[in-house]
Amino acid sequence: MAREKVLLPPFQALVDAHWRDVARLARALAGPVDGDDVAQRAWEKAFTAYPGLTSAKNLRSWLLTITAHCATDIHRARKPQRPLDDAPPIAVDGPEAADWPDPDLWQAVNALPERQRFAVTLKYVGDLDHHGVAAALDTTPAASRRLVSDALATLRTKLGVEDD
């Protein structure tokens, strides 16, 4: 059975339409220091995978999922490995909350567990629905809702915001 050819827009049209979304999400997930690197890596991966796509449906969500995966890779690479007994400790710095508008909020977001932080950022910075968040995090929409809900509850508590 031959695979049907999918009509995709030129890759440059995709970049022109979505570069701001990718850059914004990359900075939100990886911070101002690594955000540009994450965005660049996401575009490289997207460019490589683009000719093999089997659907042109929801390319924005596809790009943001790639961006989230690249940010996850940065966070995993940043985690310190088990140090050697005689080696001095290595400091590993994350994004500085003070570099963002509303530093108290971003400091609280940075303190969230990784999956909650990614879920809430994909939802509110990436503007993905729960299906898109679920696809980016390799989970279900119900689990996505729960991650976002738990993250928001933690943020409300830490920031002293009361529910209306």
Ordered domains of the chain (ranges, CATH): 11-159 (1.20.140.160)
- CA-based diameter of the chain, in Å? 60
Whether the Cβ atoms of residue 56 and residue 119 lie closer than 8 Å to each other: no
pTM for this prediction: 0.65
Per-residue pLDDT of the chain (164 residues; tens, 9 = 90+): 555 667 889 999 999 999 999 999 999 888 888 899 999 999 999 999 999 998 888 899 999 999 999 998 887 777 665 554 554 444 434 455 455 567 788 788 888 888 898 899 888 888 888 898 888 888 899 999 999 999 999 988 888 887 65
pLDDT at 150: 93
How confident is the model at residue 159, as a pLDDT?
85
Task: Kindly give, in sequence order, each residue whose CB lies less than 8 Å from that of residue 129, ignoring residues fewer than 6 positions away.
Answer: none
What value does the CA radius of gyration of the chain take, rounded to a whole number of Å?
18
CA distance 23 to 109: 18
CA dihedral 77, 15, 126, 30 (to 10 degrees): 20
Is 84 strand, coil or helix?
Answer: coil
CA distance 154 to 122: 17
